[in-house]
Amino acid sequence: METKAILSHIDHTQLKPFATWEDINQLCQEAIEFETASVCVPQSYIKRIKDHYPTLNICTVVGFPLGYNSTASKVQEIKDALADGANEIDMVVNISDVKNKDYDKVTKEIKTLKEACGDHILKVIIETCYLDEEEKIAMCESVTKGGGDYIKTSTGFGTGGATMEDVLLFKEHIGPDVKIKAAGGVSSVEDLIAFIEAGCDRIGTSSAVKMLKGQMTDGEY
């Protein structure tokens, strides 16, 4: 797979709580140079990024990383993020609602947040490391019914990240309009290729550019 094609699927990510502007600025410069799908950053940096890099596709997180914020607060986060210049939103479901089997409530929240996003992309993080298979399948249904554009495996702050098993389970149970984003623990070029070939449209990682810098040629990896 060509390196450029791999990078076009990457949400180049920096979500550490101690990320400095120097870190974020480097992330943005790399995203532009290597043409990643987006940068995924804390909300507090959106406006500054937009001012410095007006054409950059900016993704941010909502209800992150635990998901138990109220729906109203998540809606306000989305409104603020879009007003500052974000283009894509990665939200975290209320994991307690999932564990309580209150799937209709989760679906309703996703639908409400998608309405707040409008034409902007909404990715729904279900944090697979805390869920059993029944709950993961239920989340595929909730994301589909709620109108989410993507189902996303993980925040990267839980006890585990993306697995091929979960990606294949998603493919079996999501609706035709839902795409897949793998995130958390994607730590090798082989992983990147495997997830893309398995059907992931996006991969969230902070290390893809670093891993691929030595492969910036016209050939395949």
Closest CA to 152 of 206, 92, 96, 207: 92
90 is catalytic: yes
Q: Tell me how far apart the alpha carbons of residues 73 and 39 are, in angstroms, rounded to a whole number.
A: 23
The residue from 74, 152, 166, 191 that is catalytic is 152
| Closest to 36 (Cα-Cα) out of 18, 16, 14, 51 | 14
Specify the DSSP class assigned to residue 2. Answer: B
Catalytic residue among 11, 84, 90, 149: 90
Is 181 known to be catalytic?
A: yes
Tell me what percent of the chain is helix, strand and coil, each rounded to the nearest 5: 50, 15, 35
Q: At 59, which helix (H) or strand (E)?
A: strand 58-62
Query: Of 74, 166, 181, 191, which residue is the catalytic one?
Result: 181
Hey, which residues are catalytic here? 90, 152, 181
